[in-house]
Chains A and B, each alone.
Chain A
């Protein structure tokens, strides 16, 4: 255990930097969510809760209020996609992390860098390239048609699966790297001991590897879920803009719709939801793994 003074000193930069440069903007957001929208962007007095009301009850064209499920639908759809992304990146990323762990240290570094180099290139550009690959006249369809596997192009783009593909592609290293970092510490003698006791691979995973890698998995899950929830690039580009997700909706409020209070209110709700999920996950993992 570190002394209290050292602890506080170590914690200070992080808390200080984020406290000032993040918490204060968040406070501004909270205040904005209770103000009225200025027609051309920005906020004015008076204070009101219109923004929060708007999430459930919107004004019709003739001025009457009615319950609209639209925003709730958008929220649910976004959460579903973010969860799906997290699960998929876990399913795909864990074997990769495991394979890297099984290599010699030299080869590990090589593989790690191999896995991360693509992410130096801007997401927008890589998403554009996915469009080049997946669209009707794209490489994938061209190859499949050439091999006569299909006769019409497959609609691979502009639907929810394309969005999911884009999200998984973007967030894969955010799952692989934390899991690898945790696995790397694994004491291989345990594994060998388990094999000496004639364990099957599945049991090895379930009883030994999975519990020990939980911290990494938890970290990866957070690193994937939170940004995926707010993503707007992949939904807009790969999904054809036909279905709104919460990230695009909030972005719209600060730009085209010029309704900063509503955007702020949505942001607060999203933040609260993720924070609660994080706290629950934190409680579970604290009472769980005792490495």
Chain B
């Protein structure tokens, strides 16, 4: 048969390639200087990695995940091989309690003093025993001032849209983000599980639903810039991107407050290159390095001295500089009853 030799050739080429890649992976892991970073895509500046490798000679591999929840599911199910993960603040207590991340005693690291005092003791990790700040931002909403010409300073505009914005509103697709912002609007504490509050919450969200175009956390800046939505819940960094495309967009610092979130570096239990991970964490507390990261991803960092290295267009943007009196409520991990309740709210809403 004519096919056979060529089939054999292709098959052997594939097998060779397979063997090569299998051989390569373990070899890399066993050499002294490797670091396996696990982060969101496009969230680790390639310049930072290059700089780190230059300074220490440690080779870095980067793998990606799409959300805290899937990271949690994967580590809980036994996923391993990673040296550094980046976890949002509301998940840090969960990871700690589930013994998924190990102590790093960051307070002892040489660069720890570079962190701003308010970030040295964070509510979710007071002694910085497990985590170090990566980047942080606020979550609020953005609207097109060309469509709604009135000044907007309240979350009420988002949850009870005026006629000009109705039908063109976007909300996040994640239950915690939507519920948190709604609770802030209602003036209730996060992780509230009071039954009458829950009923009010459902009523609020269901009342908003007819005017919402989609519940989706992805591609928000795209949508705002293209005009697909005239108002949307959005993260501060994304808001900058959207506004640069469409100057009439405005990020709102509402009087009720905004959600705050911070992503933190942590080392998973069973990390093969523990020392290298610590080196990287220390490296990222240096002002120049974290500034490179901020310039790449566009979110704030926890090192005040980095301010002089940040590109002006980012540094002076309103999204980057929340007003001093803004009530920033950082996200929290909620106990079982509250989680169950929010689940119920979310299912009822999207059913």
Contact = CB atoms under 8 A, between A and B. Distances in A.
Q: Are chains A and B touching directly in their complex (CB below 8 angstroms)?
A: yes
Interface of A: 39-42, 58-63, 70, 73-74, 128, 135-137, 158, 236-237, 240-244, 249, 252, 254-259
Contacts of A240: 212-216
Interface in B60-107: 67, 69-70, 72-73, 76, 94, 97-98
B195 A41 contact: no
Contacts, number: 89
B282 to A, nearest CB: 29
Given A70-B348, A240-B213, A255 B67 contact: yes
15 contacts: A41-B73, A42-B98, A61-B195, A62-B195, A136-B227, A158-B213, A240-B213, A240-B216, A241-B350, A242-B209, A242-B350, A244-B347, A252-B346, A255-B70, A256-B175
B344 interface: yes
Contact of B216 (A136, A241, A255): A241
B117 interface: no
B351 interface: yes
Contacts of B98: 40-42
Determine the main DSSP class of B at the interface with A: helix
A40 B97 contact: yes
A252 B193 CA distance: 20
B343 A257 contact: yes
B339 interface: yes
Contacts of B212: 240, 242
B306 interface: no
B52 to A, nearest CB: 30
Nearest to B226: A137
Contacts of B346: 252, 256
Given A58-B344, A158-B214, A240-B214, 4 more contacts: A70-B348, A243-B351, A244-B350, A255-B69
Q: What range describes how many residues of B lie at the interface?
A: 35 or more
Contacts of B350: 241-244
A73 B351 CA distance: 8
A98 B348 CA distance: 45
Interface in B303-351: 333, 335-336, 339-341, 343-344, 346-348, 350-351
B176 A254 contact: no
A259 B72 CA distance: 13
B212 to A, nearest CB: 7
B12 interface: no
Given A62-B195, A70-B347, A241-B173, A255 B73 contact: yes
A161 to B, nearest CB: 15
Given A40-B94, A41-B98, A73-B351, A242 B215 contact: yes
B227 to A, nearest CB: 6
